[in-house]
C-alpha cells in the first residue's frame, strides 16, 4: 500500500471531483492496486482508500487524476510503525 496525494485533473468527471475534492484527508489516499474494473468499461483505474476511520474506498480512473507521492507523510508513517513494533 502506497500513500499518495491524489487530486482531480482537468479531465476529471464530476464523479471523480466529488470523490476527491470533498475528502477530509486533503487528497491523501492509500493506493491498493491498479486494474481494469468492469464498472469502468475496462479503463485503467486505481483502487484508492481515503485515510482515516470510515474512509471512502473505490475505483478512480487514472486518466482523471494526478498522483503525487507524499514523501514526508510516508517517512513519518514508517517511523511511527517502527516505534510501535
Position with higher pLDDT, 71 vs 63: 63
**pTM, full prediction:** 0.69
Pick from 40, 20, 17: nearest CA to 31: 20
Percent above pLDDT 90 for the chain: 11
Position with higher pLDDT, 24 vs 2: 2
Q: What is the pLDDT of residue 70?
A: 67
56 burial (CB, 10 Å; 0-12 / 13-18 / 19+) is middle
Q: What is the pLDDT of residue 12?
A: 93
Position with higher pLDDT, 75 vs 46: 46
Amino acid at each position: 500500500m502506497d500513500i499518495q496525494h491524489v487530486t482531480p485533473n482537468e479531465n476529471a468527471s464530476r464523479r471523480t471531483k466529488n470523490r476527491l475534492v470533498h475528502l477530509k484527508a486533503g487528497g491523501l489516499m492509500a493506493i491498493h492496486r491498479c486494474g481494469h474494473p468492469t464498472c469502468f468499461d475496462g479503463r485503467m483505474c486505481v483502487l484508492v482508500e481515503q485515510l482515516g476511520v470510515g474512509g471512502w474506498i473505490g475505483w478512480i480512473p487514472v486518466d482523471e487524476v494526478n498522483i503525487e507521492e507524499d514523501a514526508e507523510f510516508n517517512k513519518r508513517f514508517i517511523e511511527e510503525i517502527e516505534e510501535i513494533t
